Amino acid sequence: MRVGEQSTDPIDQILGEVPVPAPLTPEDVRLAVRAVVVHAAEEWPAGPKCRNDGSSFPCRLHRWGRRVLETHGLNDRQIDALIRHGNPFVHVPFPFVLTGPSGARPAPGQAARGQTARPGVPGQVARPGVPGQAGRPVPGQPARA
The three-state DSSP-derived secondary structure of 30-47 is HHHHHHHHHCCEEEECCE
From CA 33, how far away is CA 85, in angstroms rounded? 11
Q: Which among 82, 33, 41 is positioned nearest to 58, based on CA atoms? A: 41
From CA 137, how far away is CA 135, in angstroms rounded? 7
From CA 40, how far away is CA 52, in angstroms rounded? 8
- Region 4-10: mean pLDDT is 65
pTM of the model: 0.61
> Under a CB-based contact definition with an 8 Å cutoff, are residues 92 and 101 in contact?
no
Give the model confidence (pLDDT) of 19-66 as tens digits: 899 899 999 999 999 999 999 999 999 999 999 988 889 999 999 999
